[in-house]
A = this chain, B = another copy of it.
Amino acid sequence: MPGSGGDPGFAEIFAALGDPTRLAIFDRLSDGQARSIASLSNDADMTRQAVTKHLRVLEMAGLVESHRIGRESRYAFCPDRLALARAWLDHVAGRWDSALMRLKSFAEQSSD
């Protein structure tokens, strides 16, 4: 919603995306295929534990869901919070655009 710059919820979402590793994981999961921690750890130059922590951050932010199957826990993309983040950015961009519009119409009116 408008004027929600102070809402800590949005900040949490962006903060979760504010790390190259997490961004890569999130991007990777966006193809719809759920993956195990071990699988995601293979192409991240760090320990499985580190990847686990990143996944927890993404999950806390609601960007990702996990469910255990047998001995492995699979993480899956979760679109809801992503939509929220997009809506917020759209709102800000829209406000900026309308500010530009007002400025433009004022300039045109002045030069009449």
Interface, chain A (partner B; CB < 8 A): 3-8, 10-12, 14-20, 22-28, 30-33, 77, 79, 82-83, 85-86, 89-90, 92-93, 95-96, 99-100, 102-103
Contacts and interface: CB of A to CB of B under 8 A. Distances in A.
A12 to B, nearest CB: 8
A14 B11 contact: no
A20 B7 contact: yes
B8 A20 contact: yes
Given A82-B89, A86-B90, A93-B86, A19 B11 contact: yes
Contact of A6 (B4, B14, B17, B20): B20
A100 B32 contact: yes
